[in-house]
Amino acid sequence: MTLAIRAAGADSRYWDAALETQSRPDWQRLKLDALQRHLRHAYHGSPHYRAGFDAAGVHPDQLETLDDLRRFPFIDKQTLRERQLAVPPFGDVCAVPERDIVYISASSGSTGVPTASPFTAADFDEWIDFEVRLFWSSGLRPEDRYCHSLNFSLFVGGPCVLGAQRLGALCIHAGTVPSERLLAIARQFQATAIWTTPSYAWYLGETAVKEGIDLRRDLAIRRIFVAGEPGGSIPETRERIENLWGASVYDYYGLSDIFGACAGMCEEKHGLHWAEDHILVEVLDAENGEPVAEGERGELVLTTLRKSARPMIRFRTGDIVSFTSEPCACGRTSQRLLGVHGRLDDMLIIKGVNLFPSDVEAIARKETACTGEYRLIVERENHLDRLTVEIERVPTFAGSDEDLAHHFARQLKSITGVSAAVRVLAADALPRATHKAKRVEDRRSGVWA
């Protein structure tokens, strides 16, 4: 077990200043060196990768630059699932003997057979080590009391609490308990930080207010870590949660098939810093597979650099993101995820225009006459798609619903190029999410998504 010891007199802004502020060429060298070793490990340890590389006519020894990785084949969720069924229980994408595996997480299985993600002892230890670094960059300190309200049941978000614990914070392993209980725990122990989804952070805050709890006076929460939904990377969504709680919100990004969190927001909150010594990031045009320019939207493709139990080489995440390699004002030099705009599967095409629910969310959260809740309904009429956006007015809104609907529709059209009918509802008319929100009803196929 690694001990979380920082050098005496170290710069308090960073957990590991030498690593986190190194030059971009140093990052590239570090990644190239790790990638060469990791590809060889995958090739020699995993029958799946060996067969795939051979079929594509590529060999790890041919990798001379990071760009050479583009000659290697992709892997995706469906392949992981198939290989797991073909070679149970973990599949031949694994590159170590089963006796070396000490931990598995598994996806929820909401879109098919759950896939298991195995870790060796070293994989697990190194993962928790970089969670420490991410937490530190978000301002968590040993003086904090961190309340972890994520599920531990095979969920890769569960062990992230060990990062906060290794950092030295007092960790309250609350797990998933009813909202009233969670609020009581946070209140009793005066937790200063908590982790949840953006939807649940909003729901929990509203629940507290309804119960007569003063979020600023009765609770001590000053930092809210969020993950699992695109909302966390939308500034308007974060600001709403921050205003409700009087706390600072930090977005995190993770994947059940890789790590609980592999990128997190620093105090500047302009993008999420990747744990770039463990993850190699590509952002590609989803149609032609070519890299997109920095700041442009593309599909996120991830390659692990050290995770030996099951290396992930060019894993297509299906998430549409943008990124930057510009140095951050915080002094860290790692690449940043600028925004998760949605899943490729979530993208709606309305009369030929691409639209992500998160685009609508940004408008709904910014509009002060609205509660910020919304729902999209997509229908087909005479072979044409028709979008209806439902929003809620705040109870104090004194204007007309018609004017608000027109105003919202104009905003939507000018920002996204999509025309939609807008329906204004009373506050609390739309269902609230207690975990991940489902805000799209696609009625085009006759089945509600």
Nearest approach, Cβ of residue 332 and Zn ion (Å): 5
Helices (DSSP H) in 380-425: which residue ranges?
A: 401-416
Nearest approach, Cβ of residue 331 and Zn ion (Å): 7
User: What part of residues 290-329 is at the interface with Zn ion (CB under 5 A)?
Assistant: 328
**How far is C-alpha 251 from the geometric centre of its chain's CA atoms?**
7
Q: With CB under 5 A as the contact rule, which of the stretches 163-171, 203-211, 218-226, 330-338 interacts with Zn ion?
A: 330-338
- C-beta of 11 vs 218, nearer to Zn ion: 11
Sign of CA dihedral 116, 121, 122, 128: positive
* CA proximity to 140, closest of 119, 112, 110, 160: 160
- C-beta of 284 vs 330, nearer to Zn ion: 330
* 268: contact with Zn ion by CB under 5 A: yes
- C-beta of 101 vs 132, nearer to Zn ion: 132
- C-beta of 50 vs 270, nearer to Zn ion: 270
- C-beta of 169 vs 330, nearer to Zn ion: 330
The b/e string for 301-310 (b: 16+ C-beta within 10 A; e otherwise) is: bbbbbbbbbb
Question: Reduced to 3 states, what is the DSSP secondary structure of residue 102?
Answer: strand
* 332: contact with Zn ion by CB under 5 A: yes
User: What part of residues 131-170 is at the interface with Zn ion (CB under 5 A)?
Assistant: none
Nearest approach, Cβ of residue 180 and Zn ion (Å): 36
* CA proximity to 204, closest of 269, 162, 147, 134: 147
Nearest approach, Cβ of residue 272 and Zn ion (Å): 9
- C-beta of 63 vs 338, nearer to Zn ion: 338
* 265: contact with Zn ion by CB under 5 A: no
Instruction: Compose the 362-401 pattern: x for residues touching Zn ion by CB under 5 A, - for all others.
Output: ----------------------------------------
* 244: contact with Zn ion by CB under 5 A: no
Phi, psi of 299 (to 5 degrees): -80, 135
Q: Residues near 357 by Cβ (< 8 Å), separated by ≥ 6? A: 230, 342, 346, 348, 376, 439, 440
Q: Residues near 43 by Cβ (< 8 Å), separated by ≥ 6? A: 49, 50, 53, 59, 60
Q: Are 174 and 205 in contact (CB under 8 A)?
A: no
Binding site for Zn ion (CB under 5 A): 266, 268, 328, 330, 332
